[in-house]
Amino acid sequence: MPLKTFYSENHRLHFPQAELSGGQFVTPFERPSRVEYVLNRLKERGFSDIEKPAEADLEPARRLLDPGYLDFLQTAWADWKAEGMAGEIIAANVPARGMHLDRVPANIDGKVGYYCHASETAMTAGTWAAACSSLASAQAAQRHVAAGASAAFALCRPPGHHATRDQYGGYCFLNNAAIVAQMMRDGGADRVAVLDVDFHHGNGTQDIFYGRGDVLFASLHGAPQDAYPYFIGYADETGKGDGDGANINYPMPPGTGYAVWAEALENAIARIGDWGADALVLSLGVDAYKEDPISFFKLDSPDFIDMGQRIARLSLPTVICMEGGYAIEAVGINTVNVLEGFENA
């Protein structure tokens, strides 16, 4: 039986009209039409069990994330408008080396910079509601798996894996994968693995679990010397304290094809198996595709089928959370290819 999908129409509430890219403002690469291509492909391929989630439960987020950050996300738009700002929320001032990182400004312009790590990500009046609806989809998928399903797909938008415990950026506001992993732990899983196959390093997930030994994080991504988020994602970042050894990065250079990429995936799968994971969260980005506009790997559409087959062989209860993928016409094909490969393994 096809995987159940959870999806909310409220993702449409987040649609900034501008993204700063290459020194100019462009229509954001992360936009509502991404979801439409996935939905259409799901239906074409028989994944007709698509359900609207219940409202998001913020309690798991409050236990995992910085409370000041969550308060900021909820009030940022009202505060921005109260200050007389005319446009969308875009960070213009950020703390840099030598500045205070422990003092939150009172002015909303400074507060935005404090809680943001990438100024390409704008916020609008509907961003908070859309982020909550994205989290709600992920939580509904987790509950479905906790109730006995082997796997479920959360068609999350906006994505989540770049959101840290106290910062947004990379189009992400709430880290859906991390919150789902915590819910799995709270539900009785002793060890949860988060496997991130998005082209961009899952810096937010790494940040949240870096000092913990009960959640393994493995990320396959473009080398940070050449790819966003640039300042994190190196192979020597292996965790700290209780988390030493529970963080695994596979940075790869421009032009990487599937043979090399799949070797890294096999290594990650083996590490997850050897570590003894009880459950899996898959951060599914399909921007490793060869024609993605903001990535530089060379995976082709059939490779995503094989990817899903390989991951399924872990035979773990799995929640699949949608992350990136910006080759709009191919994002639906590649996403569903992973799901079909996973389902038919």
Question: Tokens 């915590």 map to which residue?
Answer: 182
Q: How far are the Cα atoms of 11, 66, 233, 249 from residue 204, in angstroms, in the given order?
A: 20, 13, 11, 13
Q: How far are the Cα atoms of 170, 203, 266 from residue 108, in angstroms, in the given order?
A: 20, 25, 45
Pick left, alpha or beta for residue 51 (phi over 0 → left; psi -120 to 50 → alpha; otherwise beta).
beta
Q: Rounded CA gap, 338 and 330, in Å?
A: 13
Strand, coil or helix: 26: strand
SS3 assignment for 194-224: EEECCCCCCHHHHHHHCCCCCEEEEEEEECC
14 is a catalytic site residue: no
What residues contact residue 178 under an 8 Å CB cut-off, 6+ apart?
64, 160, 161, 194, 204, 205, 208, 209
Active-site position among 162, 200, 201, 221: 162
**Catalytic residue ranges:** 162
